[in-house]
């Protein structure tokens, strides 16, 4: 007795794409489609949950970069390098967080040309609130499969990321992947 594999949308899309390009690697196509679809689902779920709580997605990036920094403080330049936005955008974000009382800006005593951004106690609470919302949303969306399946997928994706990015030390990973490091 053979078990019929249930097809997903990636199977259908890959089959259609491969009819147009018969030399395409079907396994690579399916993986790419699945990764994009899963990332899209996760992004939509997080944005929906964040919006319901009045959280802006960029808050996560900045607050958690500060949350995990030594002394919960980083230079504005370090925050800029860890983000994928312009200097003007990071300055605007810091100003908005400061207006909420979540961060404090000070001139760096060692080099007065630099600004240091420090997480306040209220910012610490906000970061913890965002983490709780994010964790709940991820568990609700991704927790639909068994723990063993999640572990296997996670190991397989680690292997794929290592093949693409190579190994990273903790400092490199946290500097460039603010949202991912928050969890």
DSSP the chain: -PPPPPP-HHHHHHHHHHHHSTTS-HHHHHHHHHHHHHHHHHHHHHHHHHHHTT--HHHHHHHHHHHTSGGGEEEHHHHHHTSSS-HHHHHHHHHHHHHTTSEEEEE-TT-TTSEEEEE-HHHHHHHHHHHHHHHHHHHHHHTTS-HHHHHHHHHHHHHHHHHHH----HHHHHHH-HHHHT-
Whole-model pTM: value is: 0.75
Residue 1 lies in a domain: no
Residues 136-166: tens digit of each pLDDT? 999 999 999 999 999 999 999 999 999 999 9
- Do 48 and 94 fall within a single domain? no
The whole-chain average pLDDT of the chain stands at: 88
- Do 110 and 127 fall within a single domain? yes
Domain boundaries, position 24:
7-52
Comparing 23 with 137, the larger pLDDT belongs to: 137
- Do 166 and 91 fall within a single domain? yes
Q: How many domains does the chain have?
A: 2
Residues 63-91: tens digit of each pLDDT? 999 999 999 999 999 999 988 899 999 99
- Do 41 and 59 fall within a single domain? no
pLDDT band for position 29 (cuts 50, 70, 90): confident
Residues 116-142: tens digit of each pLDDT? 999 999 999 999 999 999 999 999 999
Residue 2 lies in a domain: no
Report long-range pairs for 120-128 (Cβ below 8 Å, ≥24 apart).
123/63, 123/66, 123/97, 124/67, 124/72, 126/59, 126/63, 126/100, 126/102, 127/63, 127/64, 127/66, 127/67
User: What CATH number is given to the structural domain containing 81?
Assistant: 1.10.10.10
What pLDDT, on the 0 to 100 scale, is given for residue 180? Answer: 42
Residues 86-115: tens digit of each pLDDT? 999 999 999 999 999 999 999 988 888 889
Nearest to 142 by CA among 56, 46, 61, 64: 46
Residue 100 lies in a domain: yes
- Do 28 and 92 fall within a single domain? no
What pLDDT, on the 0 to 100 scale, is given for residue 178? Answer: 44
């Amino acid at each position: 007795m053979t078990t019929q594999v249930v097809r997903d949308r990636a199977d259908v899309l890959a089959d259609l794409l491969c009819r147009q390009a018969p030399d395409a690697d079907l396994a690579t196509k399916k993986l790419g489609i699945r990764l994009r679809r899963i990332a899209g689902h996760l992004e939509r779920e997080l944005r929906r949950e964040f919006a319901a709580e009045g959280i802006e997605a960029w808050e996560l990036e900045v607050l958690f970069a500060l949350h995990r920094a030594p002394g919960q403080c980083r230079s504005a330049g370090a925050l800029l390098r860890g983000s994928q936005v312009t200097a003007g955008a990071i300055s605007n974000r810091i100003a908005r967080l400061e207006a909420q009382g979540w961060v404090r800006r000070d001139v760096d005593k060692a080099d007065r040309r630099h600004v240091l951004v420090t997480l306040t106690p209220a910012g610490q609470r906000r970061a913890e609130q965002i983490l709780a919302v994010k964790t709940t949303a991820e568990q609700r969306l991704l927790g639909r499969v068994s723990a063993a399946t999640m572990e296997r997928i996670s190991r397989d994706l680690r292997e794929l990321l290592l093949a693409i990015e190579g190994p990273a030390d903790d400092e490199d990973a946290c500097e460039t992947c603010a949202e991912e490091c928050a969890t």
